[in-house]
A and B are shown apart, each in its own frame.
Chain A
Amino acid sequence: MEDLTNITDEELRRVIQMVRTIDDVDLGQFQPIILRHRVCRFAALQGYESVSKLVEKLITDRSLIHIFLQKLTVPTTEMFRDAEFWTELEAIINDKLSAERFIKIWVPDICGDDELNTLLVILSRNNLMHKATIYATSQFQQVIDNSHESYIDTKKFEISEANFKRINNDNTLLPYLERLEKYYKFSPNLLEKVIFIKHCLSKDTPPDKGFNLVLFRNRSLYYNPTTRRTAIEKIGQSLIPGGYLAIGSGENLDDTDQQAMLVQVSKNEKIYKKKQ
């Protein structure tokens, strides 16, 4: 376990300033304690004896910065995380959204592909891919560059498969995956329907407007309170009246203006509907 005291406030400021200068990414937008942990973790995994040594190396080695930024982002954990949530969302998609002529969906801040892949499985098995337009965005170019292909290791497959079976014991993810030697590859046919765009929630306007659904689970955790409010505000405004927003069970809309505009439609899950 990395010692969070291994990085001083001054060192953290130096890291933030350096990345802002070199890569135009503002790490100051992230939740401080988690950023601190991610930086310490990266330093430890890369074998640096101190964060100071890491900072020195980052200043001189731009290729390391790209790896650093990629490792700072927190992957979503597994496909079909919180099976009950996906059961409820699938019902909403079937009961409400399937009647729409087109379905416009936004998955902001993708990292790892589990949430996006899960959504694609849901849309595919309900024969809705043909009417769906799906945007997936990240502020990290490296994430966008790597998102057209999605690989799942055996352990994550087993966890994801078990989650999927919690929805229905007959379910299996295998029709959506290609088995390789050490990995599974997620269906390229489904991924090619997704529009991947570099997009920063704190700075940029939404990639489109009139969304029927925004899937933003467990992503606001990594923003500081100010950036989180900005992100929720933009996402809320991007929804059409009657559109849906899904956030994680550990998140809420408190302290956001969107709290008044969105009504929770699920008793147990954080699924909200924008007022008409």
Chain B
Amino acid sequence: MLYVVIGGSAGSFQTVTTILAELPKTFPHPMFLCLHRLKHIRTGFVEALRLKSKLPVHEPCDKEPIQPGQVYLAPANYHMYIEQDNTIALSTEEPVNHSRPSIDITFVSAAKAYGEKCLGILLSGANKDGAAGLKAMKDAGGTVMVQSPDECQVKTMTAAAIKITDVDYIFQSSQITNYLLNLK
């Protein structure tokens, strides 16, 4: 089992919906989505992601056990940690990189919990959130990839990650989808 952790900000929503639309409902790996979003809009986002996804997508509650084949979307205005006992921990701690949810929080905690079983994917975005987290995943033995900056609507996030981490793959979104489809 792998644990797929995806982070993104401005310009990532379309990529995520495209990926979710392509994955079959038998996709066995848990997936975590940490996407920057408006903090005071609590509804609508998860519903929009569900429209084309064959996988169940939901915003987890605190201390929820992680299940195969589920997609967990970080709720608005909460950080989403992965706890070492394979549960989710939510938090209202201070924003990290001006963000709550922070991609770094989710990525770093996933690196700590899952190590080499992590697959980290960083998409388009307008700040550096996620870059340090992706490095933590790589350092923990996980596989890390970024969306090709050329394809990103905003390339700040992926460029920051590439600058500090020897990423395993720089992929177009179609290649990211194919990679996920070929996971055992």
Residues of A within 8 A of B (CB): 1-5, 31-34, 36-38, 74-77, 81-84, 162-163, 166, 218, 220-222, 225, 228, 248-252, 254-255, 268
Contact = CB atoms under 8 A, between A and B. Distances in A.
B9 interface: no
Contacts of B108: 1-4
A221 B62 contact: yes
B92 to A, nearest CB: 5
A32 B113 CA distance: 12
Contacts of B132: 1, 3
Interface of B: 40, 42-43, 59-63, 75, 77-78, 81-84, 89-94, 96-97, 100, 102, 104-105, 108-109, 111-113, 132-133, 136, 139-140
A155 to B, nearest CB: 11
A79 B59 CA distance: 23
A249 B42 contact: yes
B15 to A, nearest CB: 23
Nearest to B104: A1
Nearest to B95: A77
- Which has the most chain B C-beta neighbours within 10 Å: A2, A3, A74, A166? A3
A162 B81 CA distance: 28
A222 B89 CA distance: 9
Contact of A37 (B90, B93, B97, B139): B93
Nearest to A250: B90
B97 A33 contact: no
Contacts of A222: 91
B171 to A, nearest CB: 24
The B contact surface, by secondary structure, is loop
Nearest to A217: B92
Given A32-B84, A33-B84, A83 B91 contact: no
A116 B86 CA distance: 33
A76 B93 CA distance: 8
17 contacts: A3-B132, A3-B136, A4-B108, A4-B109, A4-B111, A4-B112, A5-B139, A5-B140, A32-B84, A33-B81, A34-B89, A74-B93, A82-B40, A82-B42, A162-B40, A166-B40, A249-B42
Contacts of A268: 43
B61 A250 contact: yes
B16 to A, nearest CB: 21
A251 B97 CA distance: 25
A149 B8 CA distance: 40
Contacts of A76: 92
A221 B63 CA distance: 8
Contact of A34 (B81, B97, B136): B81
A221 B91 contact: yes
A166 to B, nearest CB: 7
Given A1-B105, A31-B89, A218-B92, 20 more contacts: A1-B97, A3-B136, A5-B136, A33-B83, A34-B91, A36-B112, A37-B105, A74-B91, A74-B92, A74-B93, A76-B92, A81-B77, A82-B42, A82-B77, A162-B40, A163-B40, A250-B61, A250-B75, A250-B90, A268-B43
A88 to B, nearest CB: 13
Nearest to B63: A225
